Amino acid sequence: MEGSTEERVVAQVLQPWLSGRGVWLTPVALKTRKAAGQPHHRGGVSKWSRIEAEIRALLRNSAVDRVTTLLDFYGLPSDTPGRRGVPSGDAYARVSHVEKAVAEVVDDARFLPFIVLHETEAWVLAAARELAELLDAPKLGIELESQVRAAGGPELVNDGPDTAPSKRLLTAYPGYRKVVDGPDAIELLGLDALRAVCPHLDHWLDRLMTSG
């Protein structure tokens, strides 16, 4: 898991929903950046080797039933397995290609990689109406819903440096607080409604509940 936003999404949305279905998550934030003489900072994926090292450290614990990831496809390190040879075109085929390559490298039956298309903020776009309600900004919901429709769904909103979900949210509402407003909007929408419009997320949750 990358950082504070993901931690809140897990705590507010994923954990309650999954625990009601017999799956318990213990979130572990990645420590991937370290300034000289300073402690590690959570979040900000920099190199695949560091991510892999943390995954393998978790898998060395024989008491762990499964290990999964919550990483954004947008900003994923270029040296991530499968990233350089990722096929063009369909976003679902691209992210599945990388997840498969990552699983093959780690090579542990307990490991279930999940890479978000294209950021966790895509889930906030799915909750555009809820976000607009929380921020008391009706026009924001209309604008964001229009962008989602144009893309073909929240998971298909692209990952350009100026057009990724997080960038669109800040452009549409400069006062947007990603660590608070996003998770709150997703929680208000509800995970069942989110799954209905995010097939890749839906597939991961199905596998998480049935694997092991």
Q: Could you state, in chain order, the average pLDDT of each consecutive group of 10 residues for the chain (212 residues)?
A: 85 94 87 46 69 95 92 91 87 96 96 96 98 97 97 93 94 96 97 98 94 64
pLDDT of residue 44: 55
Q: Which of 72, 183, 173 is nearest to 132 (CA)?
A: 173
pLDDT of residue 88: 83
Question: In the numeric block, which tokens belong to residue 66?
Answer: 């499964």
pLDDT of residue 38: 41
- CB–CB of 118/90 below 8 Å? no
Q: Which of 203, 164, 165 is nearest to 185 (CA)?
A: 165
pLDDT of residue 35: 39
Dihedral over alpha carbons 190, 192, 195, 197 (to 10 degrees): -80
pLDDT of residue 45: 62
Sign of CA dihedral 182, 152, 14, 24: negative
pLDDT of residue 1: 63
Q: Go through 73-97 and write b for each residue having 16 or more CB atoms within 10 A of its CB, e for each that does not.
A: bbbbeeebbbbeebeeeebeebbbb
- CB–CB of 47/79 below 8 Å? yes
Question: In the numeric block, which tokens belong to residue 17?
Answer: 């929903």
pLDDT in tens, 85-101: 888 889 999 999 999 99
